[in-house]
Every structure is written in C-alpha cells, then in structure tokens.
Structure 1
C-alpha cells in the first residue's frame, strides 16, 4: 500500500512537470490578465481587453528565421487611412505601444510571484541510490534504495513560516539478500517573529508589488492617451504639409501662366527685366515645390515608423480631419487657469502615482525602523518517525518528538540596519521634493498651455486677416497691371504674400487645436475615444466657464496688448 501511494504521488508530480512551456506560459497569462482586470476595475470601475499577443506569439521561436522579418518589412501594401484608423494601427503595431503593454504585463507577473510567496508551496521528489560496501577490498554487500519526499511550506502575513515534510523509503533491497523494512518520517515546524520581521515588514514586498501594478496601470492608461495624441499630432502635421504642397503647386502653375503672359507683353509693353523677374520667381516656386514634396514624403515615412508599418509601402492620409477643423474654427476651452489646476489635481494619473509613491516612502520608514528592533522568534516543531523496523502499515503515532521555545537575537551590531534606515529617510526627503516638483510642473504646464492657446488664437486671427488682405492685394495688382499702373514685381510680391498667408493660416489652425489637445492631456481629461475629439472638447462637468473665452480678442493686430512697462513692472511694496 505504501509503495502504491508513493508511485501515484510520483506519477502525479511527473504529469505536472511534463507540462509544455506553452502551457506554463498560458497559465501565467491567465493569472496575470485576471489580476490586471481586477486592479483596473478597482481603479477605474471598468476593465478593457488586454493582452500582449503579437503575430509571432503562437510560433515556436526556433522556427522564426531572420529572413522572415526581412520579408515582412519589405511588404509594399497600399493603404489609405483616416485619423481614427491611424490611431487603431498604432495600438496594434506601434513598437512603443507594445513595449508599454509588456511593461504592464511584467508588473503583473511580478505581483504573481509576490502573491505566490504567501501561498502554500508544495515540493516533492524521489532519489534512487545504489550503494555497496566492502572490507579489505572484498565487496560484501550492495544496497538499492529509493526515497520519496513531499511537503509544503507557508509564509504567513504575520511574518511567520509553517513547514510540513513527509519522507519515505519505498524499499531497501539487498542484492542477493532479502528486502529490508520500510520507514516513514513526518515533521512540522512553525516559526513566528515577535519583534523584528513581524508586522508590515513581513508583507512589504507584497504590498509594494500590489501598488506597483496600480502605478503601471495608471502609467499605461496615460500612455494610451499620449500615444493617441502623438499620432494625432503627426497626422495633422502631414495634412499641413499636404496643404503646403497644394499651395506651392498652385502658386507654381500661376507663375508659369504669368511668365507666359509677361513674355507676350514684353513684345510691346513690358521691359525684358520684368519678364526675367517672373522667370526667376517661377524657378524659385518650382524649387520650393520640389522641396515640399520631399518633405511630405519624409513625413509619410516617419509616420510609417511611428505606426509600425513597413516603410516600403504606400500610405495615403485622408484630409477629412483638416476640413473638419476648417469648418469648426477655433474651439474655445471652457476653463480658466485656476479651474484647470483643480481639474488636473483630480485627473492627472501621473500625479496620483506621485502621491502614492510619497506614501510608499513613508511606509518604508516604518519598515526600516522595525529592522532596528531585536530579533525575538517563537518556534515550535513536531516530528514522527518509525524506528526499529516499523512499516507504513503499522506506524506508531506515539513515537514522536516535539519542541517549543523562543530565540532571542540581540542587536549588538546594527550598522547595516542603521545605514539602511538613514538611506530610507533620505529617500523620503527626496520623494517629498519630487511631489512638490510634480505639482509645480503641472502648474507650469497648464500656464504654458493657456499662453500657447492664447498665442495660437491670436496668430490664427491675424493670418485670417492677412490672407484676406493678400487676396485683395493680388486682385488689385492684377487690375493695375492690366492698365500699366503696376509692375511685375508688385504682382510677384503680392502672390508671395498670398502664398505665405495661406500656409500660415493652416499652420495656425493646426497649432491651435494641437495646443488645445495637449492642454487637455495635461489636465488629464483628453479623451481620444470621443467622436471628433480633434475638433471638440470632452465633457468637463462642474467647471465654471470663462465667459469671455473666444471673444476677448479684438481686431487682429489692433487688440489690447500688455505693454513692456506692465509686463516688467515690479509689485509695489
């Protein structure tokens, strides 16, 4: 019976050990994904789907060849995408996004190890041995033995440990002789710290791992929004460049037509040097157009790298988002700086992490102080064995040994613990300063954001007026040129001003909205899941509106400005 049980235990252990690496990996995934969902629901009230799978995750690493990567990156697919699709591609394929997902997974994996330390840890195994003995060079006997062992240990959150072990000799066989007796051995031990090692210090690693996962979830959530904002910014810069390419081409074609017109007029009305001026501007326009085309292609290639797409393929971006901004105009932000700062302190996930890390440094002070205490441990143990040839079937439970006692370790040399405590105190002071710096940086970001928004609004309205004036100027010079009251140079200068105003207006519009989105991100309320997020603000409840927003700028270029005297004026004492 004893041998049968031992054999069954051995087979069960072998079945566990024989699990494939993919099965072990799947078990880790199930545990990590489960605890991440649990933590995310606690933090945000809901959990999103999450995994770190890639197209190569299901493949055997030994079967992935370098040539496969070369083949994959040399794909020449043609794609046309809009802004929402671009963000979706970045989620699936951007390298930095995948790395952040893996960082979150690793934080969860670390927590599974910390939790495992406080769960029953089972162990088992078998040892087979063939031994021989001899006297004066003559072998007298050979012995074959097999010993099995099983047990478990438990680390308690009070700092104590419990360990139980069972060992048995399945058989002892003398070659050429008869079978020997079977013996069994059982032991149980308990150790519980009463001073040093008890209390919060016992669970410090688990506590920190739990909090680290919360930090990682917040950091990943913030990165998701940062990723959407980065893709949005790169996307609109491409649209800005596309608009420049169109404007430069339109200007170049107009200059070709004007040069042909000037050449015809040079026969009887225009001097030759004015024709040459037109030709020079035509060549300059062609040079600018070729340069803008090159810049556009470079931006597209950079965007492919950002999204994780093969650079060799063709990528076309839809203009609808820019047309949307042109129809919408400048979306006012219904906040002032004071309300914005209050909003940021409630919604900035990185600030919440800083606050929690400050609390971590306080807790570590308590743990480091406990390490300076004397070591006082309570211990107890019980062991059973079967000496004298007893077998498993006639085991005598009355043959046992027990022990109980207290172990005292006086802190006669506490220099390492003393130094650790002092380092912890310094770390606490540093974290205190980091928290203050984080608050100052947030306030600085918000103030800079509002200044940038005001500047972008002013520039946009200035460029609107500049383009209107440039259009009027081109029309007027054309009429004057027809009546010989203007020169070629006048029209060329007017067209250059018109081109610059067109480009600057698009740039100012994009600058305003990207500044607004960046400010929303700094406030912690940027929501890329909202429809038309690039043109509209997210819902911001219970925030007082700035009634003058959107109407506080007068005639562009003539509105009220702060004078240098007011800007540099020192406060009165």
Structure 2
C-alpha cells in the first residue's frame, strides 16, 4: 500500500522531466562523441502566434517585444534575424524535436537491454453461490528484478518477489510468501559469439551520434538560408531604391528634352520616348514594391513569426557589406594572385613601352597601352587562379568526403548491409541454447523474509532446434546479398555525385566572385557614360535616346553589382557550410572554422563504422 501511494505521487509532469533528463543526457553524450564537446540543447519553443500581435505572449528579442499593429517598424540586423529564427522557426524546431525523439527511443532501447523491472498486482473477489456460501478472496504480488542482455546473445535475469493470499477473514487466514530467482539463457551456436545480439543497440547508438552531426550540419545550412533570404530582401530593397533614383534622373532628362523640343533642338518623338521610359520605370517601381513586400513576408514566415509583426532587415547591413566588399575566396591565396597580376602588368608595361616608344604622350596611345596591360594582367590572374582552383577543388572534395553526413550515412549503409549478410547466414546454423537457473522461496506460511536457501531449486536445459526446410533462410540470404550490392552501388554513386557537387559549387563560387569584379567595372563605366550623356544632352550634343540608354545601363549595372555581391556572399557561406567549415552557437550566430568538422571522431569511436563486405561482396571504391 505504501508503494502504491509513492507511485501515485509521480505526476505526468515529473515523468516528462524524467524523459527530458534521459534524452538530453544521451544527446550530450553523443555530442561529445561526434563534436568533441557538449553544446546547449533544448526543445523549448518560443514562436509568437497571431495572438501576440494583440499584445499577448509577445516574443522577446534581446529583451524587447517585436512591434505590431500601429507600432513603428523595427529594423533587424543579420545577427538579430539569426537569433530570432533559432528561437521561432518551425523548421528549426522540427529538427530539434526529431533529434530528441531519436534520443528518447535510444534511452528506451537501452532500458530494454539492461534495466530494472517491477510490478505490483492484486485482486479482490467476492463470489456468492445460490443457496450456498459466500467466498471472499484476495491476492497480491510485488515483483522486482534486473535483466541484462549480453553482447554474445545471452540474457541474465535476477528477480525477487513477495506474494500474499487471504480470504479476508483475518490475519490468521492470510499467507505471505517470497521468492528469489537467477536465470541465464545463452545461445551456443546460432546467434552466439559474434556480437549479433548487440547489433541493433550498436546501430541505434551510432545512428544517434550521426544524427547529432546531422543536426549540427542543419544548423549551419539553416543559418546560411536565413542569411541568403536576409540579403535577398535587402537586394530587392536596393533594386527598388535604384529604380527610384532612375525615375528622378528620367524626370530630369524629360525636363531637359522638353526644353530642347521647345527650342527646336529635339523632336517631339524624343520627348515621347523619354516620357514612355519614365512611365515604364514607374510601372516597374510599383511591381518592385509588391515584390519586396512579398519577399519580406516570406522571410518573416521563414524566421517563424507572423507577417503581422512590423520588422524588416536593416539596409545598413547591405551598405556595410558593400563597403566591406567580398570576403576572401576559400582555399585561394588572393595575395599571391594579386602579386602575380601586378608582376604581369609590370612586364606588359615594359614590353609595350619597348615596342611603342612615346605612346604614353598620346591619348589614344595611352588608352591602347592601358588596354594591353589590363589584358595581360587579367590573363595572368586567370591562369594563376585556375591553377589554384584545381588544387583547391581537390582539397574541397577530400574535406567533403570526410565531413558530409550523407557520405557517412552511405558508408554506414554499406557496412550494415554487409553485416546483415553475416547475420542472415548465421540462420543456417542450428539453434542450440543453454538455460541455467536457481531459485529459493521464503518459509511458509508467514515468514517470507526467511529464505530457504538450503532448499533451493536448480535447473539446466539444453535446447536443440534445426529445420530441414531452409527455403526462407535461403531467400533471405540471397536478398541480403542483393541489398549489399545495391548499397555499394548507391555509395559509389554518392561519392561520384559528391565530387561533382563540390567541384560545381566551388566553380560557381569562383564565377560569382569574377562576376562581382566585372560588375564593379561595369558600374564605373555606366556612371561615366551617364554623366557624359547628361552633359552632352544639356549642350545639345546627345540625343534623348543616348541619355535613356545610359540611364538604363546605369540602373542595370547597379542592380547587377548588388546581385553579384549578394550571390557571392551567400554562395560562399553555403559552400563553407557544405564542408563543415561553419560553427553555429546557441544564439544562432555562425562563425567560420579554420578546420572542417569531420566525422573522423565517429569513425574512431565506432571502429566498425568502416565499410565491411561479406566474403562474397565486392570491395568498395575509395
């Protein structure tokens, strides 16, 4: 009765806390294995629902509630958006809960492998026989024990219990009993001595460690996704601003054209063309405003907040990125490239001056000289870059093959398939099981704690079972061989795809950087062209078409420069994340790593994670 009262005191909330303790403890253990350190982890969720916009359950970001309703817009930095997304994103929460669920399942599996068990049972009955006596009876039992599965297939069980029987007429008609037992069951042939019994738990332990690594990789890719969306919103805003500036310049051009038309220096057609370009720009502006608002709303949803909140990315972040310029290309020595380019420029200048003496004094000659030097400098830079890229791509592939979780999953799948072949082959062996046991009971009728060890009961049993029909085992073995071969092909394809993906992504990164460098020149040329066109139109030396084309070229160049900068920045961090070269802290902020987060820790800890093949399986390609 006392035990029943104690058990009833465990509330569902307490059981939930026990589950949290078990799951969080396992996650921290696997973090130490996979990452080399323990990191904060919780599945607490802080998303602000629609009700929050009415002042209830406001989500706090750095101590301040997010504005809503008529409150002014709060501009968020990239750091704040990353932190907000880590708190409120549904996708982020799903990943955390998935890892938690897997850890809780492993805790349960560990309990089944080795753990205490117990039960409290009881019955009370009343029977009435027609025209006969009434029979009252009560019985109860309390049993506890410990079961330990053994890696070689055995099962050790220790148990103890108390029993009670009564007819409910008094203590003198109540009997108490007790028992102690110890049993060992051990296979001697099939399923014995090769660790097959431990295989399921081994895989669960290993897979949770891999899931921890995958979760960390998700935090990196998620941060890059937020960063990319953040800058995409600002890019749309910058495009909108460029269009507004373009409209101002077109209005000025229209006024100049109108003056020239009135003075007979330009035709009415030129005025109409200028006005049409202005109207087209105003139509684009309206579309760009709608596009910006739509992208902003989608970004809010990605972060996990309602579109009703008045927040937006801070344009100062894009301005700071523009001033800072593109970050260095990973695995490329840009200082060495610059030195090679400057040396080539100096050699080209000396060569040109030797072949064309006096060219520096002629404006046309100076332009030709500068073009010649620039061509040689660019070619030398390109050749040196290609040489570095070839080596860097090989290095990046090597990192990816030892850092990407999907590659590790592929290796694990091949290893498990080979192991399954051995497990299924073991089923052809006969079943020979040995069972040993000993037990003792208390002294009857009412001395349960006086165990009669001198009157213990012992038993030994040897079981032999072998089926002459091996059809099912035959088919299972053949299917296991096919599965192993299939997993091996998938793994080899995965390796090839990974190599191609890394090389393509790296070359895309290089292309994005080259595009940015070219767009910088494009903007400089477009600005010079726009200024000259405006001045020449005012002097009556340029037509309205020249001005309109110059304005359109400047707008496109400005938009292209921002697009190239954002594309390079986002492509760069996505590339780093794909190689495990980013770390994400508890606030969702990412930081670049000097060395990649490889899965070698897992390979060292789980020694058999390396690919095994059965005797009949093909070797895997390195």
User: Cα distance 1:371–1:459, how it changes in 2: closer, same or farther (>3 A)?
Assistant: same
Pick which of 154-163 and 484-493 moved more: 154-163
Supply the distance in 1 between the matched residues of 2:52 and 2:315 (Cα, whole angstroms). 35
Choose from 455, 463, 466 the match for 2:522: 466
Choose from 477, 495, 506 the match for 2:533: 477
Matching residue of 1:23? 14
- Please state if 1:126 is matched with 2:121: yes
Residue 141 of structure 2 aligns to a residue whose secondary structure is strand
Supply the distance in 2 between the matched residues of 1:66 and 1:458 (Cα, whole angstroms). 45
- Please state if 1:155 is matched with 2:148: yes
**1:342-357 paired onto structure 2 within 5 Å:** 342-357=398-413
**1:16-165 paired onto structure 2 within 5 Å:** 16-55=7-46, 76=69, 78-132=73-127, 137-157=130-150, 158-165=152-159
Choose from 480, 489, 498 the match for 1:424: 480
Residue 376 of structure 1 aligns to a residue whose secondary structure is strand
User: Cα distance 1:358–1:418, how it changes in 2: closer, same or farther (>3 A)?
Assistant: same
Matching residue of 1:553? none
Supply the distance in 1 between the matched residues of 2:30 and 2:444 (Cα, whole angstroms). 56
Deviation at residue 338 of structure 1 after TM alignment: 1.5
Residue 332 of structure 1 aligns to a residue whose secondary structure is coil
Residue 147 of structure 1 aligns to a residue whose secondary structure is strand
Pick which of 414-423 and 515-524 moved more: 414-423
- Please state if 1:371 is matched with 2:371: no
Supply the distance in 1 between the matched residues of 2:442 and 2:108 (Cα, whole angstroms). 37
- Please state if 1:492 is matched with 2:485: no
Deviation at residue 280 of structure 1 after TM alignment: 0.8
CA contact under 8 A between 1:142 and 1:175: conserved in structure 2?
A: no
CA contact under 8 A between 2:184 and 2:435: conserved in structure 1?
A: yes
Deviation at residue 315 of structure 1 after TM alignment: 1.8
Deviation at residue 307 of structure 1 after TM alignment: 0.3
Choose from 295, 298, 310 the match for 1:299: 295
User: Cα distance 1:141–1:507, how it changes in 2: closer, same or farther (>3 A)?
Assistant: closer
**1:153-302 paired onto structure 2 within 5 Å:** 153-157=146-150, 158-173=152-167, 175=169, 179=173, 181-199=175-193, 200-269=195-264, 270-302=266-298
User: Cα distance 1:68–1:276, how it changes in 2: closer, same or farther (>3 A)?
Assistant: closer
Supply the distance in 2 between the matched residues of 1:530 and 1:151 (Cα, whole angstroms). 43
Supply the distance in 1 between the matched residues of 2:206 and 2:23 (Cα, whole angstroms). 15
Residue 52 of structure 1 aligns to a residue whose secondary structure is coil
Deviation at residue 102 of structure 1 after TM alignment: 0.7
User: Cα distance 1:86–1:55, how it changes in 2: closer, same or farther (>3 A)?
Assistant: closer
User: Cα distance 1:138–1:80, how it changes in 2: closer, same or farther (>3 A)?
Assistant: same
- Please state if 1:321 is matched with 2:317: yes
Q: Deviations over 1:494-551 (max 9, x none)?
A: 11111111111111122222222222223332346699x99x975359xxxxxxxxxx
Residue 402 of structure 2 aligns to a residue whose secondary structure is helix
Supply the distance in 2 between the matched residues of 1:319 and 1:344 (Cα, whole angstroms). 35
Residue 190 of structure 2 aligns to a residue whose secondary structure is coil
RMSD: 3.1
Supply the distance in 1 between the matched residues of 2:135 and 2:86 (Cα, whole angstroms). 67
Deviation at residue 30 of structure 1 after TM alignment: 0.9
For structure 2, the residue ranges without an aligned partner over 5 or more in a row are: 59-66, 333-391, 597-622
User: TM-score, normalising length from structure 1?
Assistant: 0.83
CA contact under 8 A between 1:168 and 1:184: conserved in structure 2?
A: yes
- Please state if 1:512 is matched with 2:568: yes
Matching residue of 1:502? 558
Choose from 495, 504, 512 the match for 1:448: 504
Residue 331 of structure 2 aligns to a residue whose secondary structure is coil
Matching residue of 2:331? 334
Deviation at residue 473 of structure 1 after TM alignment: 1.8
Supply the distance in 1 between the matched residues of 2:205 and 2:42 (Cα, whole angstroms). 19
CA contact under 8 A between 2:68 and 2:310: conserved in structure 1?
A: no
Deviation at residue 247 of structure 1 after TM alignment: 0.4
Matching residue of 2:594? 539
Supply the distance in 1 between the matched residues of 2:47 and 2:553 (Cα, whole angstroms). 54
User: Cα distance 1:337–1:530, how it changes in 2: closer, same or farther (>3 A)?
Assistant: farther
User: Cα distance 1:197–1:16, how it changes in 2: closer, same or farther (>3 A)?
Assistant: farther
Matching residue of 1:402? 458
Deviation at residue 434 of structure 1 after TM alignment: 2.4
Supply the distance in 1 between the matched residues of 2:261 and 2:505 (Cα, whole angstroms). 54
Pick which of 384-393 and 28-37 moved more: 384-393
User: Cα distance 1:482–1:219, how it changes in 2: closer, same or farther (>3 A)?
Assistant: same
Q: Deviations over 1:186-240 (max 9, x none)?
A: 4443321112233422112211110110111011011010001101111111121
User: Cα distance 1:392–1:517, how it changes in 2: closer, same or farther (>3 A)?
Assistant: closer
User: Cα distance 1:520–1:169, how it changes in 2: closer, same or farther (>3 A)?
Assistant: closer
Deviation at residue 273 of structure 1 after TM alignment: 2.1
Matching residue of 1:557? none
